[in-house]
Amino acid sequence: MAIREAIRDGADKTAQASSFPLIHCRGLVKVYPLSGVEVHALRGVDLEIKQREMVAIMGPSGSGKSTLMNIIGCMDKQTSGDYYLNGVDVSKLDENGLAATRNANLGFVFQRYNLLARATALYNVELPLFYAGMAGAEAEAKAMAALDQVGLHDFSQHWPNQMSGGQQQRVAIARAIVKRPLVILADEPTGALDTVSSKDIMEIFQKMHREHGATVVVITHEPFVADFCQRKVVIRDGQIISDDQVPNWHDV
Amino acid sequence: MAVKFSILSDFAVRALKANKMRSFLTMLGIIIGVGAVVLMMSIGQGTQAQVMANINRLGTNMLMISPGASGQFGVRSGTTNTMTLKDATAIAKLDGVAGVAPTVRTSGLVTYGNQTWTTSATGTTPAVVDISSLTVAQGRFFDDTDVQSISAVAVLGQTVYTNLYPNGANPIGTEIRIKNVSFRVIGLLQSIGAGMGGNDQDDVIYIPVTTAQIRMSGITNQAINMMQVQVASKEQMDSVQNAIETLLRTRHRLAATAADDFRITNMAQIQETAASVTGSMILFLASVAAISLIVGGIGIMNIMLVSVTERTREIGVRMAIGASRQDILSQFLLEAVMLSLLGALLGIIFGIGGAKIFAFFAKMAAPISISSILISVGFSIVVGVFFGYYPATRAARLNPSEALGYE
């Protein structure tokens, strides 16, 4: 609770000053010991993402972008270097602190939706609230509001297998935003979708960003998806090779 | 910030419902285990109660004295007719003796009109009524006068009555023949039921002991087959037994080195022995049944391990959206406990059902003890926690990023 409040407080203080780096990585190195050989997934990454930014992290497979996403998402720890989420040194958090941070401050969207198959859309969106100790009507109301935001109000009682891929991914987005996290982290959110659905999903992210001031980080290898973002960071062999603003990104 | 218990239970129920057949098969081990424990305890306690009731009917504060030396390994040798009615009279005068019923037994054909029945007639004294807890349903039992006057009177048990009087006629005052000796029926006993080992305790005819000796067996020296001695209280059992032993040795003029020419069986000791034997039988049956509970627990662990592997991605997602390791541990532990608890409840139902069926067919009580239910429920919770803990720990120790990438 304390960690969550600390991070939240920071966010409130900096809501006006959007130059404050929400995500601040300095010299991030990640080494995996893989059957005796050390694999250097990240070789010193410096990255700052400010509040209300919408950033695409691009790179071919094996470039280290998923590793970066895991570290930013507090699901893995760096070998060396620093990572501050809203000013908090994540490496100093224990397991429970990391879980609480993921629950309160991060919203994940995955390539394969990763919804619970035997639960309604509503129940899936309620899950993060359950892990925050909420239940009942309060959780249901919040989850319905999130489903509204992704345009799935009428699908709350549908099961994942009764929905299209695009709809399932929208449920996953509703699940990610239901706790109004500091950062929405999307790992290849369009990887399993056709072009129309992909565009749909990216427009929802843009809407979240535009209307609710969400900070969105999208990991992708498709340039078409990256064009929906304000800023494009390219990683190759564990290092950032380019970091550019995207002109006319709203008009895709 | 932990997940509410109601939500946690809901997680577990959903997971179990997702694989109904598998959940049921996993529970089956526990169902059988608990059912067996409940059934075995029930049958055991029913048997024990019946054994005790039978022994009690024989009389708890009872000494059975039979003639004949007790040889090696308890084998009786010789058929000495050393014990007499006078011995019985002498024993009756001892302190702490409430009653003595001497017995002379003879068996043969009994006839009434054209009906016949083969059974045994027991020659005894009126003291047997109290000692064997007999109740006269109709007519009267013979009295001391009948014994002294060697009367040819008989009191019938229900089995004898129904076989000789198939029309249900009033037997009082009628004449029957026992081994061709004519007897007048003066009483009919109430039914007692089956005794230990299933012998019919209603298949009896009581006649005066003197009549049995003189008219039936041609015994002239007053010898008797056996005597039952009722002792006034349980505390006096040993002292009375010793007093009888001394008295009989003196009366029979046995040398100090000679072996007893009689045998005393202490019913209180038999009762204690029977209680401990049936007690350990129940324990043995319950332990065997409990082993199947452990086997059931291993089944739960096995399936839970499979489940954790299958649901690795789900665990990863749950962790990504904020489940702590404790939350995951609790969820999987609860699933295991629910499996075992639900299995226990079904097992109790089957156990009770089985006991009722047993009671119906075996025609004896099979009481369901609350303790057997509490023990089996408690034990199955322990089994669930014990065998669920390892798989749950495996789930909780997963690394979220690796679990998410698991194929």
For residue A186, what is the nearest residue in chain B, using CA coordinates? B320
Q: Return the pLDDT at B187.
A: 93
Both tokens of B309, joined, read 């592997």
Strands (E), A59-214: 80-85, 88-89, 106-109, 183-187
**What is the DSSP code string of A62-99?**
TSSHHHHHHHHTTSS--SEEEEEETTEEGGG--HHHHH
- For residue B231 the two structure tokens come to 């002792």
Residue B87 tokens read as: 């011995």
Measured between alpha carbons, how far is residue B206 from residues A117, A134, B147 in Å?
81, 82, 12
Chain B stretch 50-79, residues whose beta carbon is closer than 8 A to a beta carbon of chain A? none
The band of B117, judged by pLDDT with boundaries at 50, 70 and 90, is: very high
Closest-CA residue of A relative to B8 is: A130
Phi then psi dihedrals of residue B199, to 5 deg: -70, 145
Residue B18 forms contact with A (CB below 8 Å):
yes
pLDDT for B196 equals 56
Q: Are B152 and B137 in contact (CB under 8 A)?
A: no
Question: Does residue B154 surpass a pLDDT of 80?
Answer: yes
Q: How far is B316 from chain A (nearest CA, A)?
A: 9
B401 Cβ partners below 8 Å, 6+ apart?
A: A70, A73, A75, A76, B316
Instruction: Give Cα separations from B347 to B178, B377, B396, B405 (angstroms).
Output: 55, 9, 30, 40
Whether residue B321 and residue A1 make contact (CB cut-off 8 A), yes or no, is no
| Chain A residues 42-71 with CB within 8 Å of chain B | 66, 70
Q: How far is A108 from chain B (nearest CA, A)?
A: 7
A96 in contact with chain B, both atoms CB, cutoff 8 A? yes
Residue B273's pLDDT is 87
Q: Residue B289 has what pLDDT?
A: 83
What are the residue ranges of helices labelled H in B59-164? 85-92, 128-131, 144-148, 158-164
Of the two residues B272 and A101, the one the predictor is more confident about is A101
Least-confidence region, from A3-17, A132-146, B97-111, B170-184: A3-17
CB A213, CB A138: distance < 8 Å: no
- How much of chain B exceeds pLDDT 70, in percent? 95
Q: Which residue has the tokens 């409940």?
A: B38
Q: For residue B50, what pLDDT band results from cuts at 50, 70 and 90?
A: confident
Is residue B208 within 8 A of residue B123, CB to CB? The reply is yes
A93 in B contact zone (CB under 8 Å): no
More confident residue, A19 or B96: B96
Q: How confident is the model at residue B72 (pLDDT cuts 50, 70, 90)?
A: very low
Neighbours of A171 (CB within 10 A): 25
Question: Which tens digits make up the pLDDT trace of B232-246?
Answer: 888 888 899 999 999
Nearest CA-CA partner of B202 in B170, B163, B236 = B163
In whole angstroms, give the CA distance from residue B20 to residue B14.
10
pLDDT at A183 over 80: yes
Q: Which two tokens stand for residue B353?
A: 């059902």
The verdict on B324 touching A (C-beta cutoff 8 Å) is yes
* pLDDT-derived band at B142, boundaries 50, 70, 90: very high
- Domain ranges in chain B are 5-54+273-404, 81-260
Q: Establish if B399 touches chain A: CB-CB under 8 angstroms.
A: yes
Give the model's pLDDT for residue B195. 61
B215: contact with A, CB 8 A cutoff: no
What is the mean predicted confidence (pLDDT) over B320-342?
94
Predicted confidence (pLDDT) at residue B312 exceeds the cutoff of 70: yes
Rounded to an integer, what distance in angstroms lies between the CA atom of residue A217 and that of residue A215?
7
Q: How far is B31 from chain A (nearest CA, A)?
A: 27
Partners of B182 in the β-ladder: B177
Chain B nearest CA to A153, separation (Å): 22
In 3D space, the residue among A30, A132, A21, A28 whose CA is nearest the CA of residue A85 turns out to be A21
Residue ranges in B165-236 assigned as alpha helix (H):
209-211
Residue-level pLDDT at A4: 52
Structure tokens at A208: 């979240």
pLDDT in tens, B168-209: 889 999 999 999 899 999 999 998 876 655 677 889 999 999
Ramachandran category for residue A167: left, alpha or beta (phi over 0 → left; psi -120 to 50 → alpha): alpha
Residues of A in contact with B18 (CB under 8 A): 118
- CA A8-A12-A18 angle, to 5 degrees, is 115
Q: What is the pLDDT of residues A11-30, one digit of tens each?
A: 444 444 455 789 999 999 99
pLDDT of residue B243: 92
- Indicate the residue of B318, B322, B399 with minimum beta-carbon distance to A132: B322
Q: Do A99 and B319 touch (CB under 8 A)?
A: yes
Residue of A110, A118, A128 with shortest CB distance to B322: A128
In this structure, which CATH number among 2.70.70.10, 3.50.50.60, 3.40.50.720, 3.40.50.300 belongs to the domain A2-251?
3.40.50.300
What's the pLDDT score for residue B107? 87
Complex ipTM value: 0.90
